[in-house]
Structure 1
């Protein structure tokens, strides 16, 4: 059904995020009705809040339940804005950071400015499920496009925490007319706390917004050819989500209902429900078919989505897309392009080099014939699978730059089998490798570093698996302790067919299992390819040369 199809199709999703997500993670996060009630009480309006709601409900009694709720809320918001703004100018209401002169000259609504102040105070709940929040951040980083009706900054904060960078953000209607990359973009369609005038909340605001809402649908539909859409934090009675679904329905081609359902997935919160209950629903009023998932188990839900991996994150695609585009457009137009091969390590420097007027273009081609620079996961997999996607010079350069001199990464296979002079490594890279080797343990010290509670002797992996669950920290540690006792053929099969997959999952989910697998890999590498001691003697001449001079930018220890 929908979720499996989406994951199997391995295409980054477009994610819509509503107020239910903010309520799940942020302290004192209100629903629309709760927010309006908060301000109604703040203004001390004589008519009771729910009495006013009741009267307005009767006014719209001929509409559907969803439209009644929407119209009542927008009218209440309109009343609040008028009374709040008047109270501000009359001197009865104070708004932090806003003067009457500033409000008048810049045409700022004091009510909306105060709303922004309110949302700026939002913070994570003290009892938040950290694993779930971590998985949520991973999902955000894998979203091709994020569209939200929330004003708060939860999405930006979690994306920055996960990536160290932010997506391209568009507020209100901005961006829908622009030529964009359609990668790692955030659309805050109802406004943002960073811009009070952008907030959509009153009846008049929504009337203006609805005139342009088809632009949102057109933008998303253009990306739907290859990308699924996921709705999080919305109720299907929410007028906003129904309006969006209605717009999609009117524009989508007529097709098999199952195919349509696999395009759009709506996650509905069901308190205490730990299963991911999935069904195909048909909303006759919208003439629309979609997949519904009811759950309170968002950790497992996110983990399913996070299995999607197109190789590079949307943020990386957007970043390097724009850099390459600049190279071609700016330098190509002048006929001044010079071709060079660059590593991923150097891609981060391209922007500065363009600004300095240097003539560069990135060469693309078969990965085996281009100077490809790995990340840790791709390096480890290539190292033990012997796929040889990286030249020895690249592999050793990567090992040299991994952390500090005490950071351990397998590289004995390359160090012990190649002539360093033929590789022409940079002096600083060779220096770093020698420093690593000086701090590197031998196989016995790796084995003896295993905690005393995991020092249990076994002669085969089958014996270990009967006692310790596969893929647990204790199981991995016990295997590390018995590296010299277990047959190498068994270890090789385990590393290639089990441990590498476990390490990949640990890296993607950012769990502590990474540390246990890394120690195992280092020990297995030394078992198969030998310690570094003998090889250090063979390369003593080059080492002595390096020890005798300070390498630029490095200490001489």
Structure 2
């Protein structure tokens, strides 16, 4: 039997560029149980005519069906008691006949999240997905699943935002058919699709570099999907013959097998107009084989860091007003950038890395008083905090290592455990102590809290009232980093949390979620040892 992971890994390695995902409705059905488009429209025919009436009146054309339903739903929505609260909240956003239907579809989609209780294979796939470091994602889906799985990625909604912004083609999500977070952006009706098709050449021009320079893996689409074929056709028309060959090599479709069919990794032809384009077609029911191949070829630097670097380079080159602010930033702190500009240097990588390490070591050693603590770095502290027993002398750390941390950029460095061990058990005692550096670091670390506010509604909807153990059981480790800090401190089970942190410290301190993991360790330190 063909080994999908091996074959795809080799294909991705030959391509040179990091992969993009192109995600369709089948992806959302797989992981959040979302209805088909037809079933979604049928849901909102309650109180209207039979859905089959609209579908047959439109000769089976779903965008036209949506237009017919939207016109009747517009009248119904303004009078139905069931939508009184929606009218009060969103009435000001209704500016055409389709607005009411888009608002209610968006409300429905925003209430749906990952079904973590599904069978083991899908849970494993979700865990792999959330760890992947793909360069970017293009999608026609309206739900919020991708934002949930890739919280660090910048989102561009609709053609307009993509066309008139400055995307960096890394750590970004392009929602080309709109998003439920902005109901008016949804490409839903026949009129919406007509407008979308008119802009297709402009969208193709924006996406052409991605399709030529990156492998693009299509998930949740049929290889014969007419809307995808239209986008591919628009891009293909812009390419010279040599670029077209590379374009074809980068198109990878993933489909599920028919009953009795096994895994397959093969070439296939799709017909677009009078042209035929060769693509790679992968057949499997286990998408973890796909995600494992992507993970095996991921960039060593997190995609979000690369996107920030590219974005800041563009701003500096474009700007005519130089700034003088400089800072040395840890990679995982680079997004904490309120008033910091950006500088890039070019040199030999191995030599630069060696020199950077020596500079960093000198910073640490310069203020150390205890010879045995010359090599202690913030990551050593983070790993030690979650051990059952600390391996350091608290007083030596606070006096010899913490002063050097003031000169580093790491915002999240825990200290309460060592302060307690050194006899400091209150803020007043800390103020009287001679641990000046630790006092400053405690204030800096705890200043802004530990919650990621954009996830508060999801916590309240899905995790409120659960114990720490129940939260860890329900979701992936990556999502737990974002949810646990919303617990009330007297409800946090610190024993369960410490074990979770210790089990994941080696993997997550170096992964794409490292900044969230550091923040959660500091949260644990504050809850367990703080005052």
Question: TM-score category by the smaller chain?
Answer: 0.5 to 0.7
Report whether the alignment pairs 1:295 with 2:284: yes
Q: Please give the alpha-carbon distance, in whole angstroms, between the structure 1 residues aligned to 2:186 and 2:197.
A: 14
Equivalent position to 1:114, from 99, 104, 113: 104
Query: 2: distance between equivalents of 1:33 and 1:56?
Result: 13
Q: What corresponds to 1:15 in structure 2?
A: 21
Q: Secondary structure at the match of 1:311?
A: coil
Counterparts in 2 of 1:243-282, with a 5 A limit?
243-255=230-242, 259-270=246-257, 276-282=263-269
Structure 2 spans left out of the alignment, 5+ residues: 1-6, 365-374, 407-412, 422-476, 482-499, 508-528
The answer to whether the aligner puts 1:124 opposite 2:114 as a matched pair is yes
1:488-499 map, 5 Å: none
Question: CA 1:103/1:313 → structure 2, altered by over 3 Å: closer, same or farther?
Answer: closer
Q: Which residue of 2 aligns with 1:383?
A: none
Distance verdict in 2 for CA 1:257–1:244, change over 3 Å: closer
Q: Is the 8 A contact 2:308 2:335 kept in 1?
A: no
> 1:236 aligns to what?
223
* Structure-2 change in CA distance of 1:371 and 1:291 (3 Å): closer
Say whether the 8 Å CA contact 1:191–1:200 is kept in structure 2: yes
Whole-angstrom CA distance in 2 between matches of 1:516 and 1:144: 24
**Greater relative contact order (Cα < 8 A, sep 6+):** 2
Partner residue of 1:212 out of 175, 181, 199: 199
Question: Are the counterparts in 2 of residues 367 and 389 from structure 1 also a CA contact under 8 Å?
Answer: no
Mind listing any 5+ residue stretches in structure 1 that lack a counterpart?
58-68, 380-387, 413-419, 440-505, 520-554
Separation in structure 1 between the aligned mates of residue 333 and residue 27 of structure 2, nearest angstrom: 38
Indicate the RMSD between aligned Cα atoms, in angstroms.
4.5
User: How far off is 1:215 after superposition?
Assistant: 2.0
Task: Tell me how far apart the structure 1 counterparts of residues 41 and 181 of structure 2 sit (CA, whole Å).
Answer: 20
Structure 1 position 86 matched with structure 2 position 90: no
What is the Cα deviation at residue 245 of structure 1? 2.3
Instruction: Give the length in aligned residue pairs.
Output: 401
Aligned residue among 283, 286, 295 for 1:306 = 295
- Residue 134 of structure 1 aligns with which residue? 127
Alignment of 1:24-173 (within 5 A): 24-27=30-33, 29-40=34-45, 42-45=46-49, 48-50=50-52, 53-54=55-56, 56-57=58-59, 72-91=61-80, 94=83, 96-99=85-88, 102-103=92-93, 109-125=99-115, 126-128=117-119, 129-139=122-132, 142-160=133-151, 165-173=152-160
CA contact (8 A) 2:71 2:97 kept: no
SS of equivalent to 2:338: helix
| Residue pair 2:15, 2:215 contacting (<8 A) in 1 also | no
Within 2, Cα distance between the matches of 1:74 and 1:325?
39
Distance 1:43 1:405, change over 3 A: closer
- CA distance in structure 2 between the partners assigned to 1:365 and 1:30 by the alignment: 52
How far did residue 157 of structure 1 move? Answer: 0.9
Structure whose CA Rg is larger: 1
Asked if 2 retains the 8 angstrom alpha-carbon contact of 1:84 and 1:111, the reply is yes
1:19 touches 1:31 (CA, 8 Å); kept in 2? yes
| Preserved contact between residue 63 and residue 188 of structure 2 (Cα < 8 Å) | yes
* Post-superposition CA distance 1:447-483 (Å, at most 9, x none): xxxxxxxxxxxxxxxxxxxxxxxxxxxxxxxxxxxxx
Contact 2:74 2:98 in 1 (8 A): no
Change (3 A) 1:12 1:276: farther
Is the Cα contact below 8 Å between 2:20 and 2:214 reproduced in 1? yes
| 1:400–1:429 Cα contact (<8 Å) kept | no
TM-score by length of 1: 0.60
1:164-204 deviation line (CA, Å, top 9, x unaligned): x3423233432223333222221111111111211111111
1:284 aligned counterpart, secondary structure = strand
Moved more, 18-27 or 276-285: 276-285
Q: In 2, distance between residues paired with 1:118 and 1:399?
A: 42
